[in-house]
Chain A
Amino acid sequence: MNIRSEVKEAGMSENEYGLSEHRKTFLSVLIALTAATGALVSWQASRAGNAADSADGQAIAAALNEAGNEMSIASDVFLSETNARELLTHLESARDIHREVMRNPAVPGRWLDDWQSEIIRARVRHLQLNTDFLISKDGRQVFDGERYRQAVRAQAASEKPIDTAPFRALSEAKRRAAVFLISLNLLFASALFLFTAALRTGRGGRPVWTAAGLALYVCASGLAVWKIFF
């Protein structure tokens, strides 16, 4: 037996199920339509997966932005706090000497030299400080490192993303969508199975298989449209 005669035999057997050409065409179109819809949904799932990958990349970029920003803030705070500490030390010294000189004009002359030196040192440190973040604590100036951190973080976030959470949330949502769309293929495949069974079974079961297949197809297509467009 060759392949050609096999095909012929298959055609004869189909006739034995009493399937008219019209119904055969109808079921074949349904099978083709189901397969095409399944492929379309898979394509949409793939797009959702790509969007998730892209969001992952953005999350990593945000983490890198955050890293650069935090390092820069930490070194700035370190330098500013050191400057503020030095400023405070020299100012305290200068004020004490000045107070004593004002109270007791008979102090040795070198006290005034000391006072001047301390004032100059304090001024140098003051020049190196971002004075926006100097606060008064117990009547003395100190650098408010925490407020500085918050301000610089807010400024950085207005220029580039530094928080990974929104991208991770987007990625998770896109991945869930991809998995959901792919899972619809189970319904499309089941519909395909039912349409194929309708092609190969007798008159009794055919309407049931066809109706069940159509119900699955409509259900899966509706869910896919809802997930893709809404």
Chain B
Amino acid sequence: MRIIQEKPFKTAVILILAGLTILTSLIVLLNVTASARAAAAGRDSRILAIRYLTHLGRSLWDAASQKGLMVAAQETAGLILQAEAYEKMSKGQEALLYRLTRDRLVRLKDLLAGGGRITRPPYYDPQTGAFDLVQYFLDEVYIPAAGLLESQDQKRKESAFWGRKVEAFTTGLAVMTVAVFLLTLSLFLSGKVRLAMAGVGLALVTAVVGTSVAAAGRPWRAVSSESIRNLARASGEVLRAKLVLDFNGDLRTAERFAGPAGNTIAGILAKDPAYAAALDLRARLRAAMGESLIFAGKAREGRAEMERAVADLARVEGAGRDDGYLDWTRGFAQLLLGRFSQAEASIERALARLPEQKLALGAIKAVIYLYEGRRDAWRTVLEDALSQAVRRPLASDPNTFRILIRNLERFKEIMPAEGLQEMTRRLKEASVLIALGRGVRPLAVAASVAPPQFVNPVYDGRGEVVALPAAREFPAAVGHVYFLLEFKGMSPGQSIVRKVYRQISGQVFWVEQLRLGRTERWSGPAEARLLGSVEYPMPEAGEYLASGLYRLEIFIEGNLMASGMFKVR
């Protein structure tokens, strides 16, 4: 009786064991396939990383070459103007020399124009003589780099995806050996133990089959190369829009770049709805545009755009992307939406993940505290953030300060609160002191300076100034705006920094004009009256002050001592 029972049992176990060789071979095949795809994707990811660095090196040299060409063309244009002017002022052989020089420079300019990309449309506008170096940089350096980096990231993710499958199959094979051992053991045992061994062995086999089928059935959803290309292009457009918003504040110009970017991203998401990088980019674009709309006084549209940005950020997190920068964007959006406690929580999370960004995040936290009415706490938080600016120079570049100051000046317009003026002044002074390498605390000075008095000099026939009548308004396309400064109690070597802000007509915000700022060291007597001028580095080459309201600020040893305004029609 026992023999009759054992024969079918053993036959069944032996056939199961033989069948397991087929199953094991199948899992090995799946494992090898997954491993091959992981290795190939890993290799491509490494090659793309090298290509990204190669592209950066090569394109930056090319950009430097094109920039050199642009500078040469600009200088030549300036020299042509100069030669024309001198030709009119001189006679005979001298005039001939200047005419020859001008003709030669014109030919040279034409030749330079034919020799580069930056000197031709769309990067050069022959009507205005303006170069678009930013767009050249985006097209030739940034967008291809973004495409390579995104392709590299996709390959890295693909490699990790197949790697996880390899882990599942390898674990399955290891468990399978245990199952084979238990089933083999059941051939040599009897009674309940034998059944238990066979039962556990079969259970393990079932588990391995289940996990292997689940792992094998999970497909890799590759993002198409077209979507990656479009994403890179859209990221270039988003960056351009953000640059316009950061440095110019012109919403209409920003929308010219943001519009196509939004359409491109919508096209990508229609094709790949779960593409986290595209969702992330859309969230950042919406946050930037929402911010600008709110600052432009379009609160309803701005808030709606911000809400969409926050929803997008949640989707990005849902898609598995999670980093401090998402918290940062969300925290700033919540601040603008007036949800201070949520904003604080988001910024705290960002601070925990991005400790090196303590200056920017700490300043935002200080603003949140200020709006929450925590009067003393915001000062402590801001000072703590500023102390970080000295310790971590990479996260406290002038641009970070500029954006923080710009935002505070905008908050003063749309969300006025007591303390914003003080905070703005503190950041401005800290920014100047860091640039001078003097820490963040303003230095004690006995000097004083009266507010700048803008003047319109009157010259005699020899070019000497004979009168300095006061003026507040200057004609359009003026190259220099002069001002008088009266200093008292100055010491040699003291730093004098002047910053110029411009308010574009029709806008309420001030934008710092980087190329109009100057830093000097005092070398005169203790008391002096000086004539200075606001001008671009090359007024001779036709650079002029665009129309708008200008504000001049004078810092002595990091202390904001005086300011004044003038208008260019």
Residues of A within 8 A of B (CB): 1, 3, 6-7, 9-10, 12-13, 16, 38, 45, 49, 52-53, 56, 59-60, 63-64, 66-67, 70-71, 73-75, 77-78, 81-82, 85, 88-89, 92-93, 96-97, 100, 106-108, 111, 137-138, 140, 142, 164, 168, 171-172, 175, 178-179, 182-183, 185-186, 188-190, 192-193, 196-197, 199-200
Contact = CB atoms under 8 A, between A and B. Distances in A.
Contacts of A53: 39
Given A12-B3, A74-B58, A92-B104, A192 B32 contact: no
A209 to B, nearest CB: 11
B54 A71 contact: yes
Nearest to A35: B21
Interface of B: 3, 6-7, 10-11, 14-15, 17-19, 21-22, 24-26, 28-29, 32-33, 35-36, 39-40, 43-44, 46-47, 50-51, 53-54, 57-62, 64-65, 68-69, 72, 93, 96-97, 100-101, 103-104, 107-108, 111-112, 114-115, 187-190
B194 to A, nearest CB: 9
Contact of A56 (B39, B65, B101, B104): B39
Given A45-B32, A75-B61, A172 B111 contact: no
Interface residues of chain A: helix, strand, loop or mixed (majority):
helix
A191 to B, nearest CB: 10
Contacts of B104: 92-93, 96
Residue from the set B46, B51, B58 with the largest chain A CB neighbour count within 10 Å? B58
22 contacts: A38-B25, A56-B39, A60-B43, A60-B50, A67-B54, A70-B58, A74-B61, A77-B61, A78-B61, A81-B69, A89-B72, A93-B101, A100-B96, A106-B93, A108-B93, A137-B111, A138-B114, A171-B43, A182-B32, A186-B22, A189-B21, A189-B25
Contacts of B61: 71, 74-75, 77-78
B62 A197 contact: no
Contacts of A138: 111, 114
A6 B190 contact: yes
Given A71-B61, A164-B47, A182-B29, 16 more contacts: A13-B3, A52-B39, A60-B50, A63-B47, A63-B50, A64-B50, A73-B58, A78-B65, A85-B68, A96-B101, A96-B103, A137-B114, A171-B43, A179-B33, A188-B25, A190-B22
A56 B47 CA distance: 9
> Which interface residue of A3, A172, A196 has the most chain B CB atoms within 10 A?
A196
A179 B36 contact: yes
B58 A16 contact: no
A52 B3 CA distance: 53
B113 to A, nearest CB: 12
A138 to B, nearest CB: 7
Nearest to A75: B61
A109 to B, nearest CB: 11
Contact of A60 (B3, B46, B64): B46
A23 B112 CA distance: 92
B57 A70 contact: yes
Q: Which of A67, A97, A171, A197 has the most CB of B within 10 A?
A: A67
A175 B22 contact: no
B108 A88 contact: yes
Contacts of B24: 189
Contacts of A77: 61-62, 65
A178 B40 CA distance: 13
Nearest to B115: A142
